[in-house]
Chains A and B, each alone.
Chain A
Amino acid sequence: MANSWIIPVLPFVSFALIIFFGKRLRGKGAEVGIVAIAVSLVLSILVFFDTIRRIAAEPEFHGYERSVEWFRFGPGGFAVELGIKVDGLTAVMLLIVCAVSLLVHIYSTGYMKGDVRYTFYFAVLSLFTGSMLNLVMANNLLQLLVGWEGVGICSYLLIGHWWEEKANSDAAIKAFLTTRLGDVGFMFGIFVLFFAAGTFNIDDISGAVAAGAIPTGILTLGAVLLFCGAIGKSAQVPLHVWLPDAMAGPSPVSALIHAATMVVAGVYLVARMFEVFHASPVALSEVAIIGAITMVIAALLALVQDDIKRVLAYSTISQLAYMVAGLGVSAYTGAVFHIWTHAWFKALLFLGAGSVIHAVHSNNMSSMGGLRDKMPVTSATFIVGGLALAAFPPLAGFFSKDELVLGAYESGRHGSVLGWFVFLAMLVTAFLTACYVARMLALTFFGEAKYDSEHVHPHESPRSMTVPLVVLAVLSVAGGWIGLPGEANLFGKWVHFGEEHPAFNPLVMLASIAAAVGGFGVGWAIFRLGKVKFDILKTPFAWVYRLLQNKYYLDDIYMGLIVRPIRDQLAAFANWSNQRILDRTVDAAGIATLAMGNVAYRGVDQPLIDGAVNGVARLMGLAGAKLRFWQTGSVQRYAVALFIGVAGFVGAFVIARL
């Protein structure tokens, strides 16, 4: 455990190796990444077992911490440390990140085969994994921020991986700027906590909060600002708009970054700083409200999307909101457990969707259908993933979702109105989730084929893609069994916050099963069996449908209120000032220089310097032309000159002596 710092360092080393030597290797750099992540995964598993062993052995175990000095603010000033913190939460996150990253690496060797920037792609995957591991292991907020921005930039690079198409690079910029909006708040939150607690160290801040050393007002401010970062990163309302567009990136990237790891960074942040949130009821309520609103509206949006990856993207937003709302009602274990199970089945769904897209060359479900026979492995694993997402027992999603619903129920039962609100939102979302899962499965794998069967011949994907799918499917089934409700909940022993685990409640479980089965039934009835024609439903609720189709017009509102004024007015002004003032100045300087140069050239260089040089030469030439006639070759003429000269000298000498 003392050497667990190697885990994030390995991918960074791999990044450097790939980017410098990748193209010369036989596997174009992919093998370096796979080996590095595989070693990291092995180490993570060791760290994980070491951690749970110590949790079992020492009741007061609060995590292992180790750090070195990073830099100081001036000599003798405040020292910032570079360190690791390993507790149950970190150990779980390490497993998720390394395992999903490894599977995505393997899957990508098939999916990205022959891509123009194959090597660069793997380099960025390595960099991303390193940054994410740094994020989850950081023992202080500043280091966490470094990882946070690192994953952001990798997300940007990978969304825009196929930047030749304008839409893709636009999506990358949108994702980067939208999350950045939240990051501003995050950074201010860090500073607030730093000035309140006098340290960046997470444990020290938590300790100060627990000791009541920080006034509640400042605490609330810090927590709310921190949560801004989480809203951006985890795509919560109102900054959720970037995640659906982020689907422009390659599917394995969506699975790794936009489903399993980076987007849960926001949830992880709230969980990591939960002491701060817990101490501020206002901040906690905000978290719960945002989560509850997001989960419902995102689930509704998922219901009307045609692009299979966008369905999954909205589903991700909705599930992240589940975790956020869970944290909001203090269901800490449930939220982290949901990170764990969600990572498996959502990565599975994205990779499965990638496999389908690979086969039919389209993202749209309206050009899929009937793929069950053509792609047996993909469809079987995808259905498992879908049912796990819809929270069918005994798949992974069921246990974590049930735990969250139970948490909300308990919160409501203890007299919190907000708890009931979240409880209700969760049940509605569970219903909607099952409904859109049914729709997605029905449209993709069942019914008649709607792809262009003359040009498209779907076939099962290569082994490198199906193996990760099977592994993830197994985890999606079995991943939830470590968190069985009641006394047998192992996960709750590893990752918990303060209070005891809520007791098993069959009524709540029944309610959540009913929501899931009901939702799936309704969805299946509409989209597969055709019992209720979708068009009939559409007519009376046309405005609802239109509202959803247009994503609540949020994109348009942002475009009209924020992007366009900034882009058109501010950018126009910037452009104007640039053109008129800066460019003019530069131009004027250029022109003046040119003019001076001309003057110097025409006035000084050409007539004076060149003139002098040429003139001397010409004078010599002329003189030579004239004087050479003196060289007659007649010796007597020379002799005349000689005598005249001698006579002249003698004469001068004589005159001088007189």
Chain B
Amino acid sequence: MPVQWVLLLSTFLFSVGVYGVLSRRNAVIVLMSIEVMLNAVNLNLVAFNTMLPSQRPVGQIFALFVIAIAAAELGVGLAIVLLVYRNRATVSINELNLMKW
């Protein structure tokens, strides 16, 4: 299976993630979209690993790192969203404009 197919899939996933991050109002969905983008990156890492001359699974290990960090990141992100919800009774990103001018 050529690498290109995998890369195309990865691109598609990344684009979906970007779209989700930029367009959805729900903070939880935004976090999920970020996960999608991270997975697209993981896929890329694994795919490019096949192109390396050495047979050691460097890409896979890197992907594992990313998954672990993504889990931690998601934990923190969901905790923030939970606290925002408790304080403001909403998880809509449009309402969260405290950084406004």
A contacts, CB < 8 Å to B: 628-629, 631-636, 639-640, 643
Cα A643 to Cα B94 with chains together (Å): 19
**Could you tell me if A639 and B22 are in contact, using CB atoms closer than 8 angstroms?**
yes
Nearest-neighbour CB distance to chain A for B65, whole angstroms, equals 22
Contact A631 B99 (CB under 8 A): yes
**Closest beta carbon of chain B to A30's beta carbon, Å:** 83
A636 and B99 contacting across the interface, CB-CB below 8 Å: no
| Minimum C-beta distance from B68 to chain A (A) | 24
Which residue of chain B has the shortest Cβ distance to A637 in the bound complex?
B22
B61 CB to closest chain A CB, in angstroms?
Answer: 26
Chain B residues closer than 8 Å to A629, beta-carbon distance: 101
Can you add 13 more A-B contacts, CB < 8 Å, to A635-B96, A635-B99?
A628-B101, A631-B101, A632-B97, A633-B96, A633-B98, A633-B101, A634-B93, A635-B93, A636-B21, A636-B23, A636-B93, A639-B21, A639-B22
Interface contact A643-B18, CB-CB below 8 Å: yes
Shortest distance between the CB of A632 and any CB in chain B (Å): 6
| A635–B100 CA distance with the chains assembled, in angstroms | 10
- Whether the pair B97, A633 counts as a contact (CB closer than 8 A) is yes
Q: Which of B68-101 contact A (CB under 8 A)?
A: 93-94, 96-101
**Cα distance A639–B30 when bound, in Å?**
11
Contacts of A635 in B (CB 8 A): 93, 96, 99
Closest B residue to A629 using CB positions: B101
Q: How many A-B residue pairs have CB under 8 A?
A: 31
Smallest CB separation, B44 vs chain A (Å): 14
In chain B, what residue has the closest Cβ to A631?
B101
Complex Cα distance, B93 from A636, in Å, reads 8
Nearest residue in B to A632 (C-beta to C-beta)? B100
- B3-31: CB near A (< 8 Å → 1, else 0) gives 00000000000000010011100000010
A636 to B97, CA, bound (A): 10
22 chain-A/chain-B pairs, Cβ below 8 angstroms: A628-B101, A631-B100, A631-B101, A632-B97, A632-B100, A632-B101, A633-B96, A633-B97, A633-B99, A634-B94, A634-B100, A635-B93, A635-B99, A636-B21, A636-B22, A636-B23, A636-B93, A639-B21, A639-B22, A640-B22, A643-B18, A643-B22
Shortest A4–chain B CB gap in Å is: 97
CA distance A34 to B12 in the complex (A): 118
A628 to B18, CA, bound (A): 25
Name the residue of chain B whose CB is nearest to the CB of A624. Answer: B101
